[in-house]
Amino acid sequence: MALKANIIIDQGTSFSTSIDVTDEDGNIVNLTGFTGAAQLRKHYTSTAQTAFTVSITSNTGVVALSLSANTTNNITAGRYVYDCELTDSSGTVSRLIEGIVTVTPGVTR
């Protein structure tokens, strides 16, 4: 079952967040061989999407999601949904995290 976490992104700024991946006993999960994908969409059935850059630090079990300032500047302020999925070396896909994204409007241009 995916972790639930809501995030706030300030329009026109660089965004990043990190997720520590641990097992049920709190031990760091070795993510060697894993790849990740994450997107935000206006709603679950939207065809338009914005992809996060997903970086995985295998030996520390850290997954980082980021968006450039240019990318967030092109996202209309409002409420969105997102998730991040990890794929292991055998092709098994699991959802790591999901939730609501609130993009707050920027003033400085």
Q: What is the pLDDT of residue 80?
A: 98
Domain membership of residue 73 (yes or no) is: yes
Q: Is 75 helix (H, G, I), strand (E, B) or coil?
A: coil
Domain membership of residue 29 (yes or no) is: yes
Q: What is the pLDDT of residue 91?
A: 97
Q: What is the pLDDT of residue 38?
A: 98
39: left (phi over 0), alpha (psi -120 to 50) or beta: beta
Domain membership of residue 97 (yes or no) is: yes
Pairing of strands 50-51, 93-104: unpaired
Domain membership of residue 99 (yes or no) is: yes
Beta bridge partners of 57: 62
Q: Is 59 helix (H, G, I), strand (E, B) or coil?
A: helix
Q: Are 78 and 106 in contact (CB under 8 A)?
A: no
CA–CA distance, 74 with 91 (Å, rounded to integer):
33
* pLDDT string in tens for the chain (109-residue length): 689 999 999 999 999 999 999 999 999 999 999 999 999 999 999 999 999 999 999 889 999 999 999 999 999 999 999 999 999 999 999 999 999 999 999 988 7
Domain membership of residue 109 (yes or no) is: no
Domain membership of residue 11 (yes or no) is: yes
Domain membership of residue 10 (yes or no) is: yes
Q: What is the pLDDT of residue 70?
A: 96
Q: Which domain holds residue 57?
A: 3-104
Q: What is the pLDDT of residue 107?
A: 87
What is the count of structural domains for the chain? 1
The CATH code of the domain that includes 56 is 2.60.40.10
Domain membership of residue 57 (yes or no) is: yes
